[in-house]
Chains A and B, each alone.
Chain A
Amino acid sequence: MSVTQVSGDRIPPAVESAEAVQLRRKPQTYWSMALSSLRHDKLTLTAMAYILLMVIVTASAGPISRTLVGVGPNDTNPENAFQQSYLGPYIQWRLGTDPMTAPLMLGRSGGVPHWLGTDQLGRDQFVRLLYGGRVSLSVAIVAATISLLLGVTVGTIAGYFGGVVDDVIMWFINTVVSIPTIYLLIIVAAIYSPSPLVLTLFLGFLGWFGTARFMRGNVFRVKALDYTLAARALGARNRRIMWSHIVPNSIPVIVVVTAIDVGVLILTESVLSFLGLGIQPPTATWGNMLNRARNFLFLVDPVTGKPQAIHLLIWPGLLITLTVLAFYLIGDGLRDALDPTLKNKK
């Protein structure tokens, strides 16, 4: 309104108003742009929400299993092995469509509601999934952090100094990488029959090679940019240039690599457990639960002829798949959000 009034009196200076428009827009930093593009990415947000939910739920495995179920992860009840999921019958009971099954199941389990059924020893699957998820997730996240720190440090050093340092480091990495990590992991796992902590350390210390390579490549790119030269001209030392200029510039790359890494580590942990070389039972992890379930695939109920143990395969399998999927989606979403070169290509 006011603009038209003014323009009625005299012609407004075009340059000035263009400037005003410019100023009214909030200044956009790199991170605020990334955040705003992430905010519109529903898929990535869903994946993040899922992971957050998983972390919260598994972290509070104790209270949740006490209130919802009432047994611990290793409480056995051999009389009640291979009970089916209680969830479906419970809903039908509440709805009144099937008043028989759920109370019968409760009777057999001694009043304990096994929401997702029980395994071959009558342990509650829901509770074991919670505790197992805690192990699987924390092993993966901590190991990813270790390999992130190692990879970034070594990669930065190799890329920054170049020359002999780079040659030696890259030669070492290329040597180790040409042995499939799984070989080393299997041998090492057999030597130490690992506790969760030991396994985490191994996964971390054997997982940083990829990050280091990525980082090195990126450092080579950043090193050639003008602001590095400027920093050097101002008299900054190597360490300062590396940590204040080169590493921050590589954060987008690192974040994406790490998100995908966590997914891969969850897979690796479950593969090791699956081969019987990871974390040993009775400590539950999604991998060793799945491994156990495989042995009971052919089991059928002698009376009804229905499969007895398929729920032991479905639930851990579903959780592993969804979690890995979520980390991949987060990786993809972050790449789109953090890579300014992709911004105009959509």
Chain B
Amino acid sequence: MTAYIIRRLLYAIPVLFCIILVTFLLARSLPGGPFDRAGDKTLPESIRQNLEAKYGLDDPAYIQFANYLGGIVRGDLGPSYSYRGRSVNQIIKESFPISLQLGILSILLAVIIGIPAGIIAALKQNTWIDYSSSFVAILGVSIPNIVLGPLLIYVVSVQFGWLPAARWGANYKQFYFGWIPPMTKDFWIHAILPVITLGTAFSATFARLTRASLLQTIREDYIRTARAKGLTEYGVIMRHAMKNSMIPVVTVFGPLLIGVVTGSFVVERIFGIPGMGEFFVTSITNRDYPIVLGTTLLYSVGLVLANIGVDLAYAWLDPRIRYD
């Protein structure tokens, strides 16, 4: 198993190299440079050249790329061009935990609501409970967060004034261990709407998958055996059916994480949350290459690790799957 993990990690290195290369080339092919303008004014040619020389932008592209790779090896993602005096490491340290909290809370919401809803729907198959939960689930899958977010803001914040419509309730200075948010009221009232916006679709996906998969599992012979030996219904479902029916649900965790990333761009934009997605989108417009590269790299590393984690979870859920 350890050998398998090490091999997967080694495989990831060329993949990450390619990702850096592609993103580097794409980012450099953006028309215009980071120092074309200062605010509304165009910068004088000489100042622009000095600035570009300071950040090494007048070097040939391959030297810039080599320098950048060297920086990554040392764990240095370079300086930001548009947020003067701040490094990309610093910006990521401040913004990434917020995106992480948003993502984790949405997935938690999805697990807490989606999986039980799927179980109940499967156990009450073809009753009104099943039909209504399936209907809500397909609706939840199809309502895009770009629709749900503004709608929630309108109803909850504008009409009733119950929850704040924007911002995040804590900043990086308050985080424990750099990423765990303080459990203050301020944090939660700001988190509720964005987390619902991002989590609804995942929760609906989980509910649909759990239902379909559990329905298939409870027709298996070993479930009949478990019933025959006199286990309670609860025991049959929890001890025997659940673990096996979770495999398809775990399968979607990979695509789900990509969904979280994509969704976080939108949700951070809608709710004005200073997370990494928001920094990425603004950095594209600012031609702030180091931030573009740094955030892409961080997400890719996260996805590669998450995919390895998903594969390990299969082996735990289904002992027939072995990696060696």
Chain B residue nearest to A263 (CB atoms) is B142
Q: Which residues on B sit within 8 Å (CB–CB) of A328?
A: 138, 141-142
Chain A residue nearest to B261 (CB atoms) is A180
Q: A178-B300, A275-B281, A324-B142 are in contact. Are A187 and B30 (CB under 8 A)?
A: yes
In the bound complex, do residue B266 and residue A179 qualify as a contact, i.e. CB atoms below 8 Å apart? no
Q: Which residues on B sit within 8 Å (CB–CB) of A325?
A: 138-139, 141-142
B285 → chain A closest CB, angstroms? 7
Verify if B19 is at the interface (C-beta below 8 Å from A): yes
Chain B residue nearest to A310 (CB atoms) is B154
Other-chain residue from B153, B158, B262, B285 in contact with A190 (beta carbon distance below 8 A): B285
Verify if A321 is at the interface (C-beta below 8 Å from B): yes
Number of interface residues of B (CB under 8 A): 41
Q: Which residues on B sit within 8 Å (CB–CB) of A293?
A: 150
Verify if B315 is at the interface (C-beta below 8 Å from A): no
In the bound complex, do residue A275 and residue B147 qualify as a contact, i.e. CB atoms below 8 Å apart? no
Complex interface residues of chain B between 32 and 74 (CB less than 8 A to chain A): none
Q: Which residues on B sit within 8 Å (CB–CB) of A322?
A: 142
**Considering the chains assembled together, what is the distance between the CA atoms of A264 and B165 in angstroms?**
27
Q: Which residues on B sit within 8 Å (CB–CB) of A183?
A: 23, 280, 296, 299
In the bound complex, do residue B262 and residue A180 qualify as a contact, i.e. CB atoms below 8 Å apart? yes
Q: A188-B26, A271-B262 are in contact. Are A297 and B141 (CB under 8 A)?
A: no
Q: A180-B261, A182-B262 are in contact. Are A187 and B26 (CB under 8 A)?
A: yes
A342 → chain B closest CB, angstroms? 10
In the bound complex, do residue B307 and residue A178 qualify as a contact, i.e. CB atoms below 8 Å apart? yes
Other-chain residue from A175, A191, A321 in contact with B144 (beta carbon distance below 8 A): A321
Q: Which residues on B sit within 8 Å (CB–CB) of A317?
A: 146-147, 150-151
Verify if A313 is at the interface (C-beta below 8 Å from B): yes
**Considering the chains assembled together, what is the distance between the CA atoms of A179 and B284 in angstroms?**
16
Chain A residue nearest to B19 (CB atoms) is A179
Complex interface residues of chain B between 247 and 284 (CB less than 8 A to chain A): 258, 261-262, 265-266, 269-270, 280-281, 284
Chain B residues in contact with chain A, CB under 8 A? 15, 18-19, 22-23, 26-27, 29-31, 138-139, 141-144, 146-147, 150-151, 153-154, 158, 258, 261-262, 265-266, 269-270, 280-281, 284-285, 292, 296, 299-300, 303-304, 307
Question: 17 A–B contact pairs at CB < 8 A?
Answer: A174-B15, A175-B19, A179-B19, A179-B296, A180-B258, A182-B261, A182-B265, A183-B299, A187-B292, A191-B31, A274-B269, A275-B265, A298-B158, A317-B150, A317-B151, A320-B144, A329-B138
